[in-house]
Structure 1
Amino acid sequence: MIRILKFWSILLLSFSAFSQKGTICHYKIVDFKEFEIKKPDDETHRYAVNTLNQAVEATLKFDFVLQFNDSVSSFQLVNQMDNDANKPGAAAIGHAVIGKGEFYQNSKKGIWLKTSETTGKKYTVQDSIDFDWVVTKETKTINGFTCFKAELPENKQIKEVWFTPQIPTSFGPLGFGGLPGLIVEVKRGTFVLSLVEISTNQPVNIKKPDFGTLISAEKYSKMMDKMRGTIFKKN
């Protein structure tokens, strides 16, 4: 009898975890600055830049998905295959330009995770959820939502983000969060990622990533710096 009760308890817990209700958001690249051809007479340079711009065009078809409930979120690029025979490898290059991997946040535990694969090795990078946002008075409407502009002055990659208090969650794409509302748009480097579709009260199944070696963000950053130093070291 005890074994039967344990079986049903496990089954009910599993069903409850699988049938969580949450929100699913789809994001797209809506703007991307093309690379300029600075050496028109250099065929190799011209070919490389044209290839990169084909990759830029390919990223406009990418679908990024953020799903979240009250306390956890997951964001990642949906696998995108090359469908254009005239631009072989463009999607793969686009992945390299935009970045791959899953971002996971647990707001109750203050945990931030990102999966990464470097030189054939898998890592789950862990950090705390700690963003020093500066919220401005600027507003604009994005897909019907009134949004406020926020900046990270010490982050050179992020130009700006726009969030809306109309969707009361602290999550956002690309692992960003900690604002009083959903991050609707991110201007990062040469591209703009924007919310294009949102569905509430949807079944979501968000699991903490278990991908290779767990490493702190500090150690991972030092490892990458050392790796870059080795690659570009002068003989």
Structure 2
Amino acid sequence: MKKTILTGIAFLGFAVSAMAQNFQGMAVYESKTTAPEFKMEGNGITPEMQKMIQERMKKMLEKTFVMNFDKSASIYKEEEKLDAPGQQGPGGRMMSSMMGAGGTYYKNIKDKTYAVDKEFMGKEFLINDSLPKLNWKLEGETRKIGDYNCFKATAVKPVSQSDFRNFRRKKDGDKKEEPKKEKTTNFMDDFEMPKEITITAWYTPDIPVSQGPESYWGLPGLILEVNDGRTVIVCSKVVMNAKEKVEIKAPKNGKVVKQKEYDDIVVKKMEEMREMNGGQGPGRGQQMRFGR
């Protein structure tokens, strides 16, 4: 009984601290995406090259992010590290952006807005939009992540058409029968982007802030894990009220667009690149220009 009272007092003290004006926390997240298996043929692509490409893609989809947050806002950024061979230059940055990375992802849960800066084909974009509100269903399951007691929540989320982590291989029954023609290396014909996906999240009321990684928010506690069936984001470290404070502010650089505008630009440019190469995807040394 005495232990229960002490635990309650400790939690109450943390809750009061969380509501303090200068409250701030930091969470480290490990993100891992299961890449679909690409099978490319032609143009001298050997099984060894295919394996190397698959391994490089796997490595590119393993990332570490740091989120700094207070009671109303957060910034979520990929941890800076030396570029791996083959990931340097505009091409590597473009692929990284399409696979979920960006500059700074800022969320303001008080104003219900977000801003994220992205680089695509050498042009800087600043996406400013309203925070997507998910209809979370609070489940009864519980588990521990590190030292924190967590509760399960699920939701159905519309898919961003510019986030290529969501590509799924088509089922055989979904593939359209087409007249026989000369075979190309356009492996993307075997893939599709779903319209919506089911999200499973684990949050902890022990940290009573409605924050989480990427665009996730809206639960009665910090989200420590998110799983959308292909990408898993897990919190590996939490630091509360560190001595050194981080300025939590929205990014400012880039052409301002809404999320749908940015999605449309990405889809359009990818289609243009595909057509310019006879259905084979981007070629080397090609430059794309954007309208104003």
- The 2-side partners of 1:228 and 1:192 are apart by 26
Runs of 4+ in 1 over 6 A off after TM superposition: none
Give, in whole Å, the separation in 1 of the partners of 2:110 and 2:38: 48
CA RMSD of aligned residues (A): 3.1
Measured against aligned partners, the alpha-carbon deviations of 1:95-136 in whole angstroms (never above 9, x if no partner) come to: 354423321011222211111111211111011123223323
Structure 1, residues 11-67: CA drift from partner, whole Å, max 9, x if none? xxxxxxxx95410111123x5546558689x8535423433324524655x431000
Q: 1:192 to 1:107 in 2, by over 3 A?
A: same
The 1:108–1:233 alpha-carbon spacing in structure 2 relative to 1, beyond 3 Å, is same
Q: Choose the corresponding residue for 1:166, options 206, 215, 240.
A: 206
Residue 169 of structure 2 corresponds to: none
**1:113-163 alpha-carbon deviations (Å, 9 max, x no partner):** 111111211111011123223323333221122222233324354542221
- Please say which structure displays the higher CA radius of gyration: 2
Q: Distance in 2 between matches of 1:117 and 1:128?
A: 20
Aligned to 1:114: 116
The verdict on how the C-alpha distance between 1:211 and 1:20 changes in structure 2, with shifts beyond 3 A counting, is farther
* C-alpha separation in 2, matches of 1:232 and 1:204: 43
Contact 1:24–1:198 under 8 Å retained in 2: yes
Alignment correspondent of 1:26: 28
Q: Which residue in the other structure is 1:51 paired with? A: 53
Query: Identity of aligned pairs, percent?
Result: 26
Give, as a single letter, the amino acid of the residue that structure 2 aligns with 1:212: G
Are the structure 2 counterparts of residues 154 and 198 from structure 1 closer, same or farther at C-alpha, using a change threshold of 3 Å? Answer: closer
Paired residue for 2:127? 125
Q: Which has the higher strand share?
A: 1
1:2-151 aligned at under 5 Å gives the runs 21-29=23-31, 32-33=33-34, 36=37, 44-57=46-59, 60=62, 62-82=63-83, 88-89=85-86, 92=92, 95=96, 97-135=99-137, 136-151=139-154
Contact 2:26 2:238 in 1 (8 A): yes
One-letter code aligned to 2:30: K
- For residues 50 and 79 of structure 1, the distance between their equivalents in structure 2, rounded to whole angstroms, comes to 24
